[in-house]
Amino acid sequence: MTTPLPLRLIAGLCAALLSGALAAREVTDQLGRKVEVPDRVASVYGSAPPLTVLTYALEPGLLAGVNFPFTEADKRWLPARVAGLPVMGGLVGMGRTLDVETLMNVRPDLGLAWNTKFNDRAKTEEVFARAGVPLLFITLDSLADWPAALELVGRATGREARGKALAAEVRAGLDRVSKALAGLPPSALPRVYYAESADGLATECDQSFHVEPIALAGGYNVHRCAPSSHMGMERVSLEQVLAWDPEFIVTQEAAFYSAVKTDPRWAGIRAVREGKVYWVPHSPFNWGDRPPSVMRVLGVQWLASLFHPQRVRLDIRAETKRFYRTVLGIELSDADVSAVLEPPGAAGTDGHMHAH
């Protein structure tokens, strides 16, 4: 006959099992909410593209899903597991709605939400509560917010040292540019036009977060206004761009970058005449915008070296190698650096148009 276990021992075993299953820590997010997160976080879902890049920088293996499909060009740089992650959409940005059923099926250990006025907080909380996923709101309104965000998510995921190292990287990059541009008079800021869409006639107001890198790099965004929406992409006329006569044009659009070189309608603009049309690198993540991410630290330094070469001296190839290794864990060869910096079909340009 089997001797029954003492009641006290049974209670102790149950308590031990229960505490192991429910082991959690309290983390305060950037809205001041106290959230119970698991002691061990093995998977994270960020409900906006910047949070996906933040998670990747902390540790690619943490990603439970992505907001948008990667292009074949981007997949070249990514671990196979990351390239094949489910596309779950998001709650802010990139035009894809979060697939709640997928969230419930994937059931990540932790969810991240963008603390922005454009995000419906109540809806976001309801979605994650329904899926049974603890949620932290993260503030990323500007690049200056990234160190605190990296440190917080680092603590929450048990990657505290990595979070601090990345935060230090962001601070160092911004300080480098800030110190180099200190005392620069407004009259020394070059006029910059940010060209979006295939025709180059969508742009961003100077007050939009989409063009923060231009201001941080010591550029004067010629379109002075308040954004009409979170999405931006304000339409302007070619006549207006001609009137602005920018000294630099910065674009993410490969089609526009290629066409503007030979389009006679743009030929009279100073930036085109002088070959100062620059394409923003964006593999595997954008250096400037869409999504705005930690990659902007590299983008700001690159732009500052273009706008103010006497003040900001940067070996862009060496810094690209170092940054990708330090922040993304990607080792680049010399050929890889060229592939990152050069626009599609523009071999040998290192991301800008030479005057002829």
CA distance 145 to 114: 12
Cα angle for residues 29, 30, 36 (degrees, 5° grid): 5
pLDDT given for residue 350 in this prediction: 47
Q: Which CATH class is domain 24-176?
A: alpha beta
**Cis status, amide bond into 291, omega within 30 of 0:** yes
Which pLDDT score is estimated for 19?
40
What separation, in Å, do the N-terminal and C-terminal C-alpha atoms of the chain show?
Answer: 96
Question: What pLDDT does residue 343 have?
Answer: 84
pLDDT at residue 356 in the model: 25
pLDDT in tens, the chain (356 residues): 444 445 544 444 444 444 444 578 999 999 999 999 999 999 999 999 999 999 999 999 999 999 988 989 899 999 999 999 999 988 876 556 887 788 899 999 999 999 987 778 898 999 999 999 999 999 999 999 999 999 999 999 999 999 999 999 999 999 999 999 999 999 999 999 999 999 999 999 999 999 999 999 999 999 999 988 777 889 999 999 999 999 999 999 999 999 998 999 999 999 999 999 999 999 999 999 989 999 999 999 999 999 999 999 999 999 999 999 999 999 999 999 999 998 876 544 444 433 32
Q: Tell me the CATH number of domain 184-341, given options 3.40.50.1980, 3.30.1240.10, 3.50.50.60, 2.40.160.40.
A: 3.40.50.1980
Residue tagged 């079909």 (tokens): 345
| Strand pairing class (202-203; 234-235) | antiparallel
User: Pairing mode, if any, of strands 24-28 and 135-138?
Assistant: unpaired
Residue type, 25: R
Q: What are the structural domain ranges in the chain?
A: 24-176, 184-341
Same fold, 24-176 and 184-341: yes
For residue 215, count CB atoms less than 10 angstroms from its CB and return exposed for 0-12, middle for 13-18, buried for 19 or more: middle
Pure H helices in 160-312: 160-180, 212-216, 238-244, 254-260, 270-273, 296-307
